[in-house]
Structure 1
């Protein structure tokens, strides 16, 4: 490369860095709701909690959720301590780069991008299925292919993704408020009516906590906290980030752990500890909706059917926003074309990154449709693939935070947050081993399909590290900017 070319690249990089700043005005509540919407609470209640009860530790499931919340909170302590010293956007990509170096950092950036992109695709698939169910079952309309509705969701999320994050956060706040009201109403109804045979606390006894498969319960429980890093990703788009981000991060973890643990406990009580296992074994799909209908009435049952779609849409919008910001950050660093890292002049949004993401999602969905992948299999496999890749990210970021804080003790008291992160790292390593061992259970994939999916996830991560080595040897100016350095 000529000296003139290097100088030109450096000038582009500096000008891009100076302009590559998103803007927004989200407060604590809006940020919490944006992140929690990514988890799709109604989706978790209707489809996830019964599965966790059946395959995990049964009646002891609420405790498993709480323990996972404690582990994530330990990781959040280190995350926030490190983010105070690294006041830059980029989420896990930036933090892992700072802790483990640019090579691993770029690999993690590619892994995070894949993780959230897969979550986006799974939300489109579930939303298409849910909307079709609403039209057929509630309004007795014609059955339409799921991908038609998924395409409609994609168009709407693309439009919202083009606008400022503050507008999307208001949309997510409305949807999430409805979901929370439904779940709170259900919990209160179960408790007020005394459940099936009176409210009991068997879920919190050692016999039930360690019943069934505690390892599978823990594996499912960790998946409930996906996207909590978004509080850091949106650093440039919140008011008073030094205050808003810590409050929102702890608020997200506490809300998710408390909401899901209480709802799981109420769900178990709605059938009774002695009967719930038999119920989920016989009717896994309808266990939650039937319980809603019995305790909260027909209106709540119909609302839950509708909210399965609205929750999927909120999840898709949140996943789109998070993924677009990863594309934006990789563009700002020069890993992707730098135009992807330029914000909209008026909306201060990652509009080009958002558009590129939408086009890519449309193409991938088109491949799924052409391959005639069964809709139920598609959602299950994508959701499981997301959970697996998310655990990989957590392992990397826990190690990165621990190493960075121990190395950077000169700034103050960092030993305790570092120790908490390293403890979380050990637990998460065990979780990753369990996830690999139980990959078929997570995704429903077997044989060659299972091997291909595992190779794909690890291949993307290793591909990112290989690209970092290439940049180090051939494009030092881009290599030096990896991780928003």
Structure 2
């Protein structure tokens, strides 16, 4: 029932079928999106892992290349966000451009990909807390214990109002950014044996067997910018805010990560960065800072590294919950999932389901951990970091790359079908170029997946892990075809979101009058 209240959620199917509007403005949305990229976690966790595992020196150049590709993608994606406001974002856009069946397929890929990335973060979260306990108090605490604590805390925050979450994420983001800039400058002012060298930007540094997976790692560092449209229903001015936030987020991430990755090569020396990363692993940044800025700064950095991981966990949790909500509202998941909390307006059921998934995965990885422990360095990182975090991050990033490539094609189809190809010509060209580049990145990522595993090319996991995304696509595609055949009215609603319910309401009122 519609009322004059600005705080009530008014939709055809009742007060729990839409996310509460005017909850988040441009600054809060930007902070939420950038928190998902977890600047300190990427710089201290993802970038050293990429150097070590992939053996590619030109990681700073990769961030520039991928940043340019994502800017090309965002011209059309941002314009699409002005026409479609839906918490399903990527899958809703694909549905509007390529039809409901492809939308259903994309919805399950998005749900799997974001959920996998979110759950993988609990591995490095638990490992870092356990390592700090071992270093400062010499106690053996299994990584999965703080990981389970992280699951519980994230569940609580996920049920709160999005504006409260944005404030929490924003404070953590600002501190992370300042700390990272401080140690970047320290690396440049006290460089390694080769001085301040720009060798890492030489295209010749992009050779190596792990280039494809290094690209996937790099994409993972950017993941978060494309989440801005997920909050379109909850923003104060979706027409302008969403697109502006996306471009600011991409620009920030490109410059910040490229600069920080370059500073790391300067701190170690470009010829030594791969060896240093392989020797130090996740401790590389902290080791470099200990020598330059001392113990107090390094301990502070460790604390905010952990809180930065939490910020990313919470941001991805919120996104998964909203995708699940949108899918429940569209009939792609049980209708109960498309409900929100009356008190907070948050997608409570979707949040709860993601918590259950995270709980199950952490328990599964804990059961396969051999429990090795070094009194000085803490737990063995094999299960939580080298498997849970890196495997999940790359599988999730692969799914998101494929979604973005498909969304770029959907943008072209959307405007062509509406006779706006001439007006949007340059955006259609940039979308086409982005789609080609993203497909190339996806192909190289799958081809080099064995490098990530440290296994021979014929190893089963080399196909099983990327196959998770293929499985999600098949599930969504089959379900979409079933809906088109058996429940065409539901199929027609895929990607329409709350607009479908408003149209049904209008039709019902017209019929009864």
1:184 to 172, 181, 189: 181
Give the distance between the partners of 1:244 and 1:370, measured in 2 at CA. Answer: 45
Matches within 5 A, 1:315-464: 315-372=312-369, 374-376=383-385, 377-410=387-420, 413-443=423-453, 447-464=459-476
Pair 27,196 (structure 1): closer, same or farther in 2 beyond 3 Å: farther
**Is 1:82 aligned with 2:80?**
yes
DSSP 3-state at the match of 1:234: helix
Return closer, same or farther for 1:101/1:293 CA change in 2, 3 Å cut-off.
Answer: same
Q: In the TM superposition, what whole-angstrom CA distance separates every residue of 1:37-76 from its partner, at most 9, and x where no partner exists?
A: 2122222112222233356684432122111101001111
For 2:169, the equivalent position in structure 1 comes to 172
Counterpart contact for 1:409–1:415, Cα < 8 Å: no
Match of 2:160 in 1: 163
Of residues 35-44 and 246-255 in structure 1, the stretch that sits farther from structure 2 once superposed is 35-44
1:84-106: CA deviation from partner (whole Å, max 9, x where unpaired): 12233321010111111111111
Q: Residue 143 in 1 paired to residue 140 in 2?
A: yes
Work out the CA distance in 1 between the residues paired with 2:413 and 2:338. 29
TM-score (norm 1): 0.90
* Structure 2 spans left out of the alignment, 5+ residues: 1-10, 371-382, 498-513
d(CA) in 2 for partners of 1:381, 1:438: 13
Structure 1 unpaired stretches of 5+: 1-12
Contact 2:19 2:347 in 1 (8 A): no
**Offset, 1:239:** 2.2
Aligned to 1:8: none
Query: What's the counterpart of residue 244 of structure 2?
Result: 247
Further displaced range: 293-302 or 128-137: 293-302
Measure the CA separation in 2 of the matches of 1:381 and 1:277.
Answer: 20
Contact 1:162 1:351 in 2 (8 A): yes
- Whether the 8 Å contact between 2:130 and 2:140 is mirrored in structure 1 is yes
Aligned with 1:26: secondary structure? coil
- Equivalence for 1:66: 64
| 2:510 aligned residue | none
Any idea what SS the aligned residue of 2:460 has?
helix
Question: Which residue is 1:9 aligned to?
Answer: none
Which is helix-richer, 1 or 2? 1
Q: Which residue of 2 aligns with 1:231?
A: 228
Q: Which residue of 2 aligns with 1:128?
A: 126
Q: 2:482 aligns to what?
A: 470
Q: Please report how far the alpha carbon of residue 366 of structure 1 lies from its aligned counterpart in structure 2 after TM superposition.
A: 2.9
Distance 1:167 1:270, change over 3 A: same
**Kept after mapping to 2: 8 A contact 1:91/1:230:** yes
Q: Is the CA contact (8 Å cut-off) linking 1:31 and 1:248 kept in structure 2?
A: yes
- Report the number of matched residues: 472
Matched, 1:105 2:103: yes
Deviation at 1:297, TM superposition (A): 2.4
Please say if residues 87 and 322 of structure 2, whose CA atoms lie closer than 8 Å, have aligned partners that are also in contact: no
Match of residue 482 from structure 1: 494
2:40–2:305 Cα contact (<8 Å) kept: yes
Q: What do residues 174-209 of structure 1 show as CA deviations (whole Å, max 9, x unaligned)? A: 111121111011122223345555423333345446
Secondary structure in 1 matching 2:45: helix
- 2: CA distance, partners of 1:389 / 1:463: 14
Q: Which residue of 2 aligns with 1:264?
A: 261
Contact residue 164 and residue 347 of structure 1 kept, 8 A: yes
Q: Could you tell me how far 1:279 is from its partner in structure 2?
A: 2.6
Change (3 A) 1:444 1:101: farther
Deviation string 1:312-360 (CA, Å, 9 cap, x unpaired) is 2111101110000011001111222222212222211111221222123
Query: Does the CA contact (< 8 Å) of 2:70 and 2:434 recur in 1?
Result: yes
Bigger shift: residues 241-250 or 318-327: 241-250
The match for 1:95 is 93
- 1:246, distance to aligned residue in structure 2 (A): 1.6
Q: Give the match for residue 116 of structure 1.
A: 114
CA deviation profile, 1:139-175 (whole Å, cap 9, x unmatched): x053222222112111111111111100111111111
Distance 1:445-1:389 versus aligned 2 partners, 3 A rule: farther
What value does the CA root-mean-square deviation take over the aligned residues? Answer: 2.5
User: Is the contact between residue 89 and residue 230 of structure 2 (CA under 8 Å) also seen in structure 1?
Assistant: yes
- Counterpart-to-counterpart distance in 2, 1:375 and 1:19: 37
Aligned match for 2:34, one of 30, 33, 36 = 36
